[in-house]
Structure formats: C-alpha cells, structure tokens
C-alpha cells in the first residue's frame, strides 16, 4: 500500500532544518512565473515550427539562420525576464546554509540563467545556458549577453506564434552575418545541449555526486520526464532520504517522495523554506 506524500509545511521544516547537504532539482515550472515559455508538449510552437524540431544539431546544420532566430528570441525573453520569488528564495536559503556550515546546491534543467541572476552560487546547468556560445570550429566557450547577438538578428524572432509573420516574408540571413567566434571568427552556436546530444560528462558526474551524497532533495517545477535528470530524485528516495516535490500538479510524480506541495513555486517554496519575501 502506497503512503501518500505529506503536504505539511511544519513537518517539512523539521526535516529541512536537520539536513546538512541539500540538492534542489529545478525545471521549467520554476521559471514560468518569470514569463519564460515552456516549449515542450502541446502548443510548443515558435512561429510555425515545433520548437523541439529546431533544438537539434541537424536543424542547425540545415538552417543555422533559422535556429539562431529562434535562440535570439529565447535570449531576448530570458534577458528581459526577472528572477521570481522561487529563484530568490533558493538563493537566500543557500546563503543561510553557507552561514550555518551546511551545503545547498541547485541542479537545473533550465537554460535561462535566472538562478544565478537571483544570487545562487552553487548552480549546475545541465543543459547549458543562453548566455554562452560555443564555436563550431575551435570549440571555445564564451559568455555573450549582447542583445542582439549580431546586427542581422535585430528585430527578428517575433513571438511563439505570430500567424501574421511567415518565414518567406523575411529577408534571408546569410551565414556570414550570423554570430562569430571572437578567437577564430568561425560560426558559433548556442551553448545548449540539444536533442540527440549528450550532457557534458563533467557536469553529469558532478550532478550524480550531488544526488548520491545529499540527505534531502527538492524537486521544483519539473515533471522529471527527461533522462538522466528523471532518475535523480527517485535515486535519492531509493536511498531512504527525503524528497520534497513542489509542482502545480495535484498528484506527486512518485509516491515514494516524502512531501508534495501543490501550487505556484513562487508561493509554496518561500513558505516551505521559511523565507520572508
């Protein structure tokens, strides 16, 4: 017989206060309140394209200008968005843990950079981030927060769906006009782990170590369907350590989790962490 996870803030805070090594696993839901679109699932369109069809090496090889338009749009949205109460609560709680000699880390599937902008220091970005680019030739990784990232992309991108705009109505952007590496001047691409690509092995090893050594895991705004991240929280639960889930869903992802708090993360998370915002 399954034991349903608790939705008891007082009981959770008892567990939280005793934990010495806490890991927060975050997904798209934590950034939704900042206005970051979720492209996975039904309706995940950008203009007339399925967003997931553009986030592949094959798409970039076939039409780098189109992919860069999509990522210019994503960068513009992220750069103009602000960390919300969930991001801020995590950053503040990390600082509290540091002052108390405890460890607090964030493993995020998001690429928007909002955790770091909120003040979190110990952040592992599993899928890369929009603030970085990688050269297709020399493979150097560089920070780039220019907006637009190149003049040819100024005013391009539009919204997620804008039926009044068609690809054929727009001037074609030549590859030579796209963002270039500052070292060798070759074409760069977003430093994002696309579909069909492997995670950075060092980042993955660091994430696994955090998951295997933590004594409390927070699952925040993620449905945990993408591997290997999907196995992180269940692995913690299998070790007999508490897992607390914060999600809009009324039902827990895993009945083995100790706690489940339903509602907007910007509301439930600060309350659970005891952060007054």
Q: Which residues are catalytic?
A: 127
For 21-58, give one letter per residue: b (16+ CB within 10 A) or e. Answer: bbbbbbbbbbbbbbebbebeeeeebbbebebbebbeee
Annotated ligand binding at 7? The verdict is no
Annotated ligand binding at 249? The verdict is yes
Annotated ligand binding at 80? The verdict is no
Annotated ligand binding at 135? The verdict is yes
Annotated ligand binding at 129? The verdict is no
Annotated ligand binding at 123? The verdict is no
What gap in Å lies between CA 123 and CA 113, rounded to an integer?
10
Residues 6+ apart with CB under 8 A from 169: none
Cα separations in angstroms, 131 against 62, 90, 163, 196, 234: 23, 21, 29, 21, 31
Residues 6+ apart with CB under 8 A from 149: 68, 72, 75, 133, 179
Annotated ligand binding at 217? The verdict is no
- HSE of 194, CA atoms in CB hemisphere, 13 A: 17
Annotated ligand binding at 71? The verdict is yes
* For the chain, the helix, strand and coil percentages under 3-state DSSP, each to the nearest 5: 40, 20, 45
Q: How many residues does the chain have?
A: 277
CB 37 within 8 A of CB 77: yes
Annotated ligand binding at 112? The verdict is yes
Annotated ligand binding at 110? The verdict is yes
Of 117, 127, 45, 52, the residue nearest 84 (C-alpha) = 117
Annotated ligand binding at 21? The verdict is no
Which DSSP category does 153 fall into?
A: G
Residue stretches of the annotated binding site for substrate: 71, 74
Residue stretches of the annotated binding site: 71, 74, 109-112, 135, 138, 181, 184, 221-223, 247-249, 265
Residue stretches of the annotated binding site for Zn(2+): 135, 138, 181, 184
């Amino acid at each position: 017989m399954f034991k349903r996870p608790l939705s008891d803030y007082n009981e959770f805070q008892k567990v939280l206060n005793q934990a010495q090594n806490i890991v927060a696993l975050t997904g798209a839901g934590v950034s939704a309140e900042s206005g970051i679109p979720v492209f996975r699932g039904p309706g995940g369109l950008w203009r007339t394209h399925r967003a997931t069809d553009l986030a592949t090496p094959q798409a970039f090889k076939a039409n780098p200008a189109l992919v860069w338009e999509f990522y210019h749009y994503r960068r513009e949205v992220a750069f103009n968005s602000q960390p919300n109460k969930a991001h801020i609560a995590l950053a503040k709680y990390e600082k509290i843990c540091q002052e108390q000699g405890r460890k607090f880390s964030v493993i995020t599937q998001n690429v928007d950079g909002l955790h770091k902008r909120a003040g979190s220091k110990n952040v592992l970005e599993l899928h890369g981030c929009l603030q970085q680019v990688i050269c297709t030739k020399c493979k150097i990784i560089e920070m780039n927060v220019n907006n637009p990232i190149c003049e040819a992309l100024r005013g391009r991108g539009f919204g997620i769906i804008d039926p009044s705009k068609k690809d054929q109505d727009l001037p074609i952007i030549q590859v030579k006009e796209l963002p270039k590496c500052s070292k060798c001047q070759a074409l760069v691409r977003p430093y994002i782990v696309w579909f069909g690509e492997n995670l950075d092995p060092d980042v993955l090893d660091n994430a696994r170590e955090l998951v295997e050594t933590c004594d409390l895991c927070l699952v925040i705004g993620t449905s945990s369907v993408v591997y290997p991240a999907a196995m992180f929280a269940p692995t913690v639960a299998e070790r007999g350590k508490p897992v607390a889930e914060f999600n809009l869903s009324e039902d827990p992802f895993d009945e083995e989790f100790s706690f489940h708090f339903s509602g907007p993360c910007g509301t439930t998370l600060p309350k659970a962490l005891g952060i007054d915002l």
